[in-house]
Structures are given as structure tokens and as C-alpha cells.
Amino acid sequence: MNDIDVTFTNINIEQKTALMDILGYYVDENGIIFDKETNIQHICPITEETVSIDNASILPGSTIIINTTELSLSEYFKEFFEKILN
């Protein structure tokens, strides 16, 4: 089996906000992430809940933005590794 290195990088809220801007999102005064084009709140594809900037993780693979929980991270990596190992 191939070895796969996973590295996490912590960035502060200001850096996350700037990155969201580059990716086509904005953060409202309550810290909720919105799509710039649609003005719709960003929903985590795993938890199906609104994502706030203080709990957001930006993951590789089409730049997926999720809520940072043990469940959502494990689900994401399960799917991610299944794709690259097959």
C-alpha cells in the first residue's frame, strides 16, 4: 500500500477570511461563510450545517470547506483516500 502524508496547517481567522475571499466566499458580521455569487450560506457537505469561519476547515480536492469535527474529518478522509487508492 502507498504511504500518504497528511499535513494540517493552522491559520488565523484573518488568514482564513482572506482565503475565503480568494475562493469566492465572504464572511458576514456573525462569522458565517457565504457564496459571493449567490449570497447563500455555505453548507458543509458532510454535516449539512452552516459553516462558520471559526470552525471551518479548507480541504484539498476541489477546495472543500467543511465544519471541523472528528466525524466530518474522518468522513472526508475516508472518501478522499478511497478515491486516490483505487
The verdict on residue 5 lying in a domain is no
The verdict on residue 3 lying in a domain is no
The verdict on residue 27 lying in a domain is yes
Global pTM value:
0.77
The verdict on residue 18 lying in a domain is yes
The verdict on residue 53 lying in a domain is yes
Q: What's the DSSP call for residue 10?
A: -
- Which residues does 24 contact at the CB level (< 8 Å), separation at least 6? 35, 36, 37
| Amino acid, single-letter form, for residue 17 | T
- Which residues sit opposite 51 in a β-bridge? none
Range of the domain at 53: 13-85
φ and ψ at 19, to 5 degrees?
A: -65, -40
> Model confidence over 24-70: pLDDT tens digits?
999 999 999 999 999 999 999 888 999 999 999 887 666 788 888 78
φ and ψ at 50, to 5 degrees?
A: -60, 145
Q: Maximum distance among all alpha carbons in the chain?
A: 46
The verdict on residue 70 lying in a domain is yes
